[in-house]
Amino acid sequence: MFVESSHPTKYPIFEIVYTFILAAIALTLMPGPDILYVLTESLATGRKYGMSIACGLVTGLLWHITLTATGAGLLIKTNPILYDIVTYAGVAYLLYLTYGAYHSQPTPPSTIKERVPDSFEPLGRLYVRGITMNVLNPKVTIFFLAFLPSFVTEDSKQPIQEILLLGGVFMLQAMVIFITVAYLADRLRHLIVAEWFWRWIYWIRICVLLGIAILLLLQ
């Protein structure tokens, strides 16, 4: 669906981009799987690790934006077998991450200096995890197929370029929000020393990952 534009001056580009940014920010701030995962991981392991996952999640959006711009995303939307393959692969990966979270423990700030560096998961691996989680979620492709084209004017001479531009804007605002969430969560974790808090974080991490897997499967 495209924005009707029989009078181009009625929809100046800055107005479209401004509206798009507001809508994108509102959608990103909604308590969805991505922002909840960045929040819980930042609380459990710290700012650097939450930011690594955030960068991976945002990088993964490139896949969905490209599919939308080229029209290839319609293959996933209209092909039930392909859609199910991607979905089940995503669910299996999330269950694998849930298993890993079950066998790990949050790291209270007071114990970080006592742990050897090798005991931390490499930041690069967390970055790849974020990318994989996003790429294996066909719901994101379906979302962008509906969302991005709705901000492209009907008489646009370069719809692909406009979708890519809007996708880049979406990625930028998502990165800013995710990084901010990771930073604030890290500041919060340094203020909390109660043992019960870290026990709760342990189970919340597991529930978030398991909940994302269940939602992906049910939807």
What tens digit of pLDDT does each residue of 120-146 get?
Answer: 568 889 999 999 999 999 999 999 999
What's the pLDDT band for 192 if we cut at 50, 70, 90? confident
The CA distance from 126 to 218, in Å, is 26
pTM of the model: 0.82
Q: Are 113 and 190 in contact (CB under 8 A)?
A: no
The CA distance from 129 to 61, in Å, is 13
The pLDDT value recorded for residue 111 is 56
Place of tokens 């991450």: 97
Query: By three-state DSSP, how is residue 114 classified?
Result: coil
Using the 8-state DSSP alphabet, how is residue 10 labeled?
G
pLDDT above 80 for 46 = yes
